[in-house]
Structure 1
Amino acid sequence: MGRRSPEAAAMMSREQNDHITRTGPGTPLGALMRRYWQPAALVDELEGERPVVPVRLLGENFVLFRDEAGRYGLLDRDCPHRGADLAFGRREAGGLRCAFHGWLFDVEGRCLETPAEPAGSKLCQNVRQRAYPVIARSGILYAYLGEGEPPAFPELDCFLAPDTYTFAFKGLFECNWLQALEVGIDPAHASFLHRFFEDEDTSASYGKQFRAASADSDLPMTRILREYDRPIINVERTEYGMRLIALREIDDERTHVRVTNQVFPHAFVIPMSADMTITQWHVPVDDENCYWYAIFTSYGAPVDKQRMREQRLELYELPEYRSRKNKTNDYGFDPHEQAHSTYTGMGLDINVHDQWAVESMGPIQDRTREHLGQSDKAIILYRRILREQIDKAASGDAPLMVLDARHARSIQGPATMDGIGPSKGWETYWMDVDVRRRRGAPWMPSLPSDATPDVAPPVATAAPRRDAAE
């Protein structure tokens, strides 16, 4: 018998697929995911008249609320009295009061009152609802569901930038978190899934991904993706996860360079334009649904939050942030459009394209049937890292990106860009672009005057060769 091909070797069993997709209580991956801060809601969701929202996260049900003092609390959703739904509770008297019998709980889960009990009853002193730490960062509320002290936040640009330079949003995908994440670490798909047959005016690209001109050129990204659809993909491990570099050679002198990152466990950082990046998490609601949470970070002018929000509300409906284009209406598929203007026939919003791609795989992708190729090297490496970190968590060791305060300060950036650079010298070109942008950001702390690309934040290991494999 002949040797198995690398593609065949990458295929997995059903048990292996379950191992890297299922995050509920008691699962190995669930134990890993509970070691990290998880996006639980947008800050905007608790800014209305009634700042109480139900949250389903990692297959468990919670209620998230903001008390009168502005503190955030996340509690188990079932009242410890007789199990009624606290998501219908009343915010009053310094906490959340169950609508069934009036039991009152503060953000730390302490029972403050059991009003139906006799005067002088000490029952509430013996009752405590399970509560979880919550912290607001850059428009997102993060919750920690694990045991012990939560990890420190890395000093990513999206967390360092002031509020006026960031914008947060989210959207629901009806599929497992892993297949949603893997789209973001797949540099090859953009030339097909997001292909436009005509180029638009790049000056009208604000807030739209893949619609601006590539940095240091007047070439629109739509043209680059359309005409150069065989990128050379380099992938390397980093202290935060992975760095991906996709190269599309324009001619002997010029190469398009796109640098993206996977931040473990379930985030990626990608360029949106020359002045803006997207940091995006794919957070398990349960095994068959996930939310993407994104922070858009500007290095130039403050973000036009109203414009960004209005653009996204054209597609997403509140309160669940569901796409108006979805499987019930074939994602707006138009065969005439597919023949003449877009590769998918599903409109101009790439979020719809991504949603179709990942939801069409089924609630949980059956990876026993897939055949991976060289263009999937980032996906292969990520799955390897994921399995390694599941094992580390199971053995009691600290997995990747479970950081203490000292190590959190060393995780900076990370660098992202897309631009037209020299075919010879692209390895330093992208570092130069990143350092210039960071030096120019009005909110970024000053870098040393003698800093060079390989020592200035973000910390970068040696650039991969043009022909590097995973």
Structure 2
Amino acid sequence: MMSAEQNRRLTQVGPGTPGGALLRHYWQPIALLDELEGPRPVRPVRALGQDFLLFRDEQGTIGLIDRGCPHRGVDLAYGRLEDGGLRCPFHGWLFGADGRCLETPGEPEGSTLHQRIRTRSYPVQLRSGIVFAYLGEGEAPALPAFDCFVAPDTHTFAFKGMIECNWLQALEVGIDPAHASFLHRFFEDGDEKESYGKQFRGASDGSDLPMTYVLREFPRPEIEVDSTEYGLRVTALRKISEATTHVRVTNLYFPQAFVIPMSAEMTITQWHMPVDDTRCYWIAIFTSFAAPVDRARMRAQRLESYSLPDYLPARNAKNDYGFDPQEQASQTYTGMGHDINTHDQWAVESQGAIQDRTKEHLASTDKAIAANRRLLLRGMAAVEEGRAPMLTEGAEHLTGPATIDGMAPSESWQAHWKSAVARRRASAPWSAPALAAE
């Protein structure tokens, strides 16, 4: 049973909290590059309980700075993009993407005040359509050489959506293999031709059985959890027959992402980036091992469910997530449509803004959730003791991770899924890096 204090440690993200200190040791996916498109590339960002301002200057340099002007604290989100930086409308102070104050035009002629003024800036890097920022102290760690980071832009697509709850309960859905047989159950199998860009709507690798059928008819997976250099590998085995077993391999990418298969050709790497203690964004990179991603199609699919500029879900608690009792009786297990993001959103938001884990009763299928919580608590302890937490040293040498939905011979499923992953990687047109030996 979890204590209230442990639950606070696991869920708080602000400055000065154990959880916030841990998360500030990692690159945070604070925005989509798409959010800086348009005539005025200035975007206020709230992350880990702090307010920042993301902008791109006239030369195309992306900067992330504190949102309040260091002069008198006004909101720089209304600043003017001009003269090589962002100018505060209050007194005209100009700030570069690196945080330096470039001008204080209201000061007397010859004033050198601007040379002594700067606002805090934060390292940023662009990867696969996402702007990542390092919000901690000291030198930023390297990102691993994971597929989502090394695949060319032609083979990746990024998107995000708001969730009105704490980041951890949102993440935990992604490392819970059992829920998919219920929460995402469809009573009819869809057309394979209409499955592009949709999770659980196509066939599993090496089979013509739709994933909807596999999940619906085989709801009792055997779950294995293994520790890895990057976090956890979670394997769900569904025995189809004496000869055949369905193998689904997913991964926890510590501390706040998971890597899962979306189809036979595509994976999803999805972070849960805390806005504050009670809100988060899921933000994902879809990576293709085959043809280039049809970005326009995938974006259009998702914009049917999310509204810009804040990527807010159309179905939410205010409209009961679109719940339809007739649909629940005949089409879907939830009665909340066919978008699994809506299903997950309902599941985690209905737990409350911050789940009270002192009242939960974990089951055998929750072993990955329990293992991840232990990793997080150990990571916080490491930071408090001045030690380096997981993945902050040597991560650049990590590749993969391996993930698949596929059919395998029951007697040799371990070797079979690994060889299937190796074949897919070897045939990738962008030369996916070889995986480390298992």
Rounded to whole Å, the distance in 1 between the matches of 2:262 and 2:313 is 21
Q: CA deviation digits over 1:180-229, x for unaligned, max 9?
A: 00000000000000000000111210000000001111000000000000
Amino acid at match of 2:94: L
Pairing of 1:319-358 with structure 2 (within 5 A): 319-358=309-348
Decide which of 403, 423, 426 is 1:436's aligned counterpart: 423
Aligned residues: 438
- What residue identity is the alignment partner of 1:443? W
Q: What's 1:426 paired with?
A: 413
Q: Is 1:34–2:11 an aligned residue pair? A: no
Pairing of 1:340-379 with structure 2 (within 5 A):
340-379=330-369
CA distance in 2, matches of 1:134, 1:101: 27
Aligned residue in 2 for 1:161: 151
Residue 223 of structure 2 is matched in structure 1 by 233
1:8 matched to which residue of 2?
none
CA drift at 1:247:
0.3
In structure 1, what is the Cα distance between the partners aligned to 2:343 and 2:5?
29
Q: 2:91 aligns with which of 91, 101, 110?
A: 101
Deviation of 1:460 (Å):
4.8
1:459 maps to which residue?
Answer: 436
Rounded to whole Å, the distance in 2 between the matches of 1:149 and 1:96 is 26
1:182 to 172, 175, 178: 172
Q: 1:338, 1:358 → 2: CA distance?
A: 19
Q: Over aligned residues, Cα RMSD in angstroms?
A: 0.8
The 2-side partners of 1:43 and 1:92 are apart by 20
**CA–CA distance in 2 between the matches of 1:113 and 1:123?**
9
Kept after mapping to 1: 8 A contact 2:33/2:130: yes
CA distance in 1, matches of 2:36, 2:437: 38
Confirm or deny that 1:114 pairs with 2:104: yes
The answer as to whether partners of 1:267 and 1:281 remain within 8 angstroms in 2 is: yes
Match of 2:251 among 261, 270, 286: 261
Residue 167 of structure 2 contacts residue 280 of structure 2 at CA under 8 Å; is this kept in 1?
yes
- 1:377 positional shift: 0.3
Aligned counterparts of 1:395 and 1:51: Cα–Cα separation in 2: 40
Give the drift of 1:459. 2.3
- CA distance in structure 1 between the aligned counterparts of 2:234 and 2:435, rounded to whole angstroms: 15
Listed as ranges, the matches of 1:4-153 within 5 Å are 11-153=1-143
Amino acid in structure 1 at the alignment position of 2:284: A
Contact persistence 2:13–2:48 (CA under 8 A): yes
Distance 1:221 1:149 in 2: 43
Structure 2 residue matching 1:331: 3-state secondary structure? helix
| DSSP-derived class of the 2:348 partner | helix
CA distance in structure 1 between the aligned counterparts of 2:220 and 2:178, rounded to whole angstroms: 7
| Ranges in structure 1 where 5+ consecutive residues have no aligned partner | 1-10, 448-456, 462-470
Q: Which digits, 9 at most, give the CA deviation of each residue in 1:133-171, with x for residues without a partner?
A: 111000000000111110011000001100000000000
The partner residue of 1:212 within 168, 190, 202 is 202
- Aligned-partner Cα distance in 2 for 1:32–1:409: 19
Letter in 2 for 1:389: G
Percent identity (aligned): 66
Task: Show CA shifts across 1:117-146 (max 9, x none).
Answer: 111111111111011011100000000011
The Cα shift of 1:409 comes to 3.5
Shift of 1:116: 1.1
Q: Distance in 2 between matches of 1:418 and 1:231?
A: 13
| Unaligned segments of structure 2, at least 5 residues | none
Q: SS of the counterpart of 1:132?
A: coil
The DSSP-based 3-state class of the residue aligned with 2:411 is coil
1:410 paired to 2:410 = no
2:269 aligns with one of 274, 279, 283: 279
1:465 aligns to what? Answer: none
Could you tell me whether the CA contact under 8 Å between 2:316 and 2:346 is conserved in 1?
Answer: yes
User: Structure 2 counterpart of 1:432, which letter?
Assistant: S
Q: Contact 2:142–2:396 (CA<8 Å) still a contact in 1? A: no
How far residue 444 of structure 1 moved from its aligned partner, in angstroms, is: 1.1
> Does structure 2 retain, via aligned residues, the 8 Å contact 1:76–1:131?
yes
Contact 1:283 1:293 in 2 (8 A): yes
Among candidates 278, 283, 306, match of residue 316 of structure 1: 306
1:275 aligned partner, one-letter code: E
For the residues of structure 1 that align with 2:8 and 2:229, how far apart are their CA atoms? 26
Residues 174 and 363 of structure 1 are in contact (CA less than 8 Å); yes or no, is this contact kept in structure 2? yes
Hey, what's the Cα distance between the residues in 1 that align with 2:84 and 2:435? Answer: 42
Q: Which amino acid aligns with 2:435?
A: P
The one-letter amino acid paired with 1:93 is: D
Question: Aligned AA for 2:414?
Answer: E
Is the 1:414–1:459 Cα contact (8 Å) retained in structure 2?
no
Q: TM-score with structure 2 length normalisation? A: 0.99
Q: How far 1:301 sits from its partner (Å)? A: 0.2
C-alpha distance in 2 between matches for 1:324 and 1:201: 25
Q: Secondary structure at the match of 1:170?
A: strand
Query: Structure 1 residues 460 and 19 mapped into 2: Cα distance closer, same or farther (>3 Å)?
Result: farther
TM superposition outliers: structure 1 runs of 4+ over 6 Å? none
Structure 2 equivalent of residue 464 of structure 1: none
Inter-partner Cα distance in structure 2 for 1:409 and 1:382: 22
**Residues 292-321 of structure 1: per-residue CA shift (max 9 Å, x gap):** 110000000000000000000000000110
Indicate which of 260, 285, 302 corresponds to 1:295: 285
> Contact conserved, 1:111 with 1:127, CA < 8 A, in 2?
yes
Offset at 1:91? 0.9
